[in-house]
Amino acid sequence: MWKSLFSLIIAVSVSTISLAQSVGLVLSGGGAKGIAHIEVIRTLEENGIPIDYIAGTSIGAIVGGLYAAGYSPDEMEELFRSDDFYFWSTGRIQKEYRYYFTQPEPNPSWLELRIEKKKDKITVLPPTNIIPPEQMDFAFMELLASTNAACKNQFDSLMIPFFCVATDVHSNKPAVLRKGDLGEAIRASMTFPLYFRAIKIDGKLLFDGGIVNNFPQDLMEKFYNPDIIIGHKVADGAKVPDSDNVMEQITNIVMRPTNYEIPPEKGILLETELSDISLLDFQKYDFIAEQGRKTAEKMIDSIKTRIHRRVDLQEITKRRRQFNSKKPELYFQNVQVEGVPDPMQRKFIIQSIKHRYNVVPLSSLKKDYFKLIADEHLKSIRPVAYYNPQTGYYDLHLKVTPEKKMRINIGGNISTKPINQGYGSFDYRSYKGRAYTFSSNIYFGRFYSSFKLGGRIDFPTSLPFYLAGYTTFNRWDFFASSSELFFEDVRPPFIIQDEYHIRFEGGIPLGLHSKLYTMGAFANSSDEYYQTDVFKKQDTPDVTTFNAFVINTGLENNSLNYKQYATEGSFNSISLKYITGRETNKPGTTSTATAKSARHHDFWLAQATSAKYFNISNNFTLGTQAEVVFSNKKMFQNYRSTMLSAPGYYPTPHSRSLFIENFHSNNYIGGGLKAIFQFNPSLHLRLEGHGFLPIKEERPNEDLTAYKSDKIFSNYYLQGMAALVYHTGVGPASISLNYYDKANTNLYLTLNFGYILFNKRGY
């Protein structure tokens, strides 16, 4: 009897020990491969395997932190598949938050270098990150600020106790994050060097935890000492770097070897091998998730053998619901700004968020936040929300880093055609009650060269407005850029356009994407050309100059995602110009005229332009483009000067590098369709077809003067483009085949890197 009783006691004790088994889950870093972590967690839940503690590094910190914060595997999957996740993982701004009013004029910049002056020493600072952090910073606040309120900033009080690992940049040692702001902790843990900018927590500058500990199972044992550790590894071992792959080389330099082993008596290691997945391949969600699911299902029987305790899925759901019910909704009352020395600028930032309201909802905050980060005087804004139990609202702390006063931009265009150009700019910024920007730029190349100098003042009033003034010299040499074959005495069309102008303008915002502006300018243009396409070396060109005063009022709306080869958003503009000026013509040897002549011009010009992109499916976008120009402008002295001074239709990047008379007219309708096939967020194939319909087309007389056709529509001209485009982090790379309805060469095959963009003309 005593023997039976003793056996019963032992059996009950063993059973109790088994039932009390605690389980810790450790998730490695590995970039997009960490999607597989979600399927491991899902499989454990479905099989009743408990998760009592969770820890992770980098992507493991994101997945583990979200799960500990009360997000289910289904909710995490929905998040990772969402457009929002794409935007904050790439740093790009959603269409509905692109603030147009403060955007600078388009330029071909690739790289931004900041200049810092300390103790009479000037230092040029290269970019610290490829991906802008503002999207990500706001996303972590949006996702996890209410979680901080529920757990009172103690990670052991989350739905599941959690910690993550970052790297202290100064000491190069692990920084274990177990309390504070959960979003900031995760943000620090996944901040891979060069891709993302390091952040400060408690005075320490932190980077990705994978640098020093990519699999913190040792720390799981130290802090929680669970009975069983389940580890999931998605990281690859160190690779021999390719000589052309800078990121692989940097990864090998900064990443220390990590021990991914778990002693058999301590737990079980799951490993999902994903050798062909790069750091940001989140678009391969289905494949990665499938591999993670296979790994978990393959090992689930072994896990069940080791872990006898079970937790019903309904119990997990109930516990998640109870934890989430503690999360207060995101409404913001008090706003504080850190890092801005100028009190007027701090006041402007606070007013930009609060306006006249006492309490600000998340939706309003988000719009105003993205307006602020569009301000070139602010380098970054990191929002941190603290729940105030006394008011029931959140206090918003904006950790602002002002932009350096001096900045250099470098860019241009590299092409297989002779339209290569370099670009450089220098900006100086200052803030003294209002924002001042003084800027200059230079373009240099065989085809186009330019110099611009000027500045802009932004007034942070209740209705913001700006005043700007610029002086610009432009030169286009279409003869030098021609790639058509020519012989000694037979050459392609000779056209050189020089243009100089001084303009002053002002504008106000109209909503998020629009601005209303007015401009006054004095412009001087000088065109050198031959009036025939066949000329000899000893011939001299005609020279037509036009000195004009221009008044222009317009409305622009822009939400495009790229300044060249856009795939999303829209651009709409309408403008009305009044132009008065004097034309002077000095005839050359190919002219029928023999004496210098002059005449006055006084006319109105109205122009409307629209480009829109419609997302038909995940991989297909349809684009439309339309442009209409009406004017009462009269003919210039001869046909060629008339066409050179007439507006033109340039719907594609390459078309801007040519002068084709068929696509110029004082009155016209132009338009086209674009079919865009997206292979991934950065790579697409675009097919474009455009038509140009001049209204009462300008035609040459026998004496080379111009006249208008009697018919409203007497002719039309076509152009098209097929282009494979890859948007890199610094600019687009493309290979394109362009067709133009014109004499001589019709097809142009070009390989380009960069932007075909120019400074503005005076009119």
Q: Catalytic site residues?
A: 58, 208
- Pull the structure tokens for residue 636: 């210039």
* HEC per residue, 382-400: EEEEEEECCCCEEEEEEEE
Per DSSP, 746 falls in state -
| Strand stretches in 559-645, DSSP E | 570-586, 597-615, 620-631
Residues 531, 542: Cα–Cα separation, whole Å: 7
Residues 59, 34: Cα–Cα separation, whole Å: 6
Residues 77, 692: Cα–Cα separation, whole Å: 47
Residues 306, 457: Cα–Cα separation, whole Å: 69
Are 544 and 643 a contacting pair, CB within 8 Å? no
Residues 703, 725: Cα–Cα separation, whole Å: 46
Q: Residues, the chain, total?
A: 763
Residues 354, 337: Cα–Cα separation, whole Å: 12
* HEC per residue, 223-243: HCCCCEEEEEECCCCCCCCCC
Residue 548 pairs in a beta bridge with 523, 581
708, containing H or E segment:
strand 706-708
**Residue with token string 């900041």:** 114
Residues 285, 760: Cα–Cα separation, whole Å: 43
502, containing H or E segment:
strand 495-510
Reduced to 3 states, what is the DSSP secondary structure of residue 554? strand
Helix, strand, coil in percent for the chain, rounding step 5: 25, 40, 35
Are 166 and 181 a contacting pair, CB within 8 Å? no
Alpha carbon 210 to chain centroid, angstroms: 26
Residues 116, 118: Cα–Cα separation, whole Å: 6
Residues 269, 283: Cα–Cα separation, whole Å: 27
Amino acid at 413: N
Residues 756, 355: Cα–Cα separation, whole Å: 40
Q: Which of 628, 368, 375, 557 has the alpha carbon at shortest distance from 383? A: 368
95, containing H or E segment:
none
- Helices 134-151/83-90 angle, 10° precision: 110
Reduced to 3 states, what is the DSSP secondary structure of residue 740? strand
Are 756 and 736 a contacting pair, CB within 8 Å? no
Alpha helices in 82-121 (DSSP H): 83-90
Residue 551 pairs in a beta bridge with 520, 578
- CA torsion through residues 150, 155, 160, 163, sign: positive
Read off φ and ψ for residue 56, nearest 5 degrees.
Answer: -165, 165
Q: Which of 325, 362, 332, 320 has the alpha carbon at shortest distance from 139? A: 362
Q: Which residues contact 298 (CB under 8 A, 6 or more apart)?
A: none
Residues 260, 557: Cα–Cα separation, whole Å: 53
Amino acid at 244: D
Q: Mark 578-591 as b/e (b = at least 16 C-beta within 10 Å).
A: ebebebebbbbebb
Are 408 and 424 a contacting pair, CB within 8 Å? yes
Angle at 154 between CA 148 and CA 159, to 5 degrees: 75
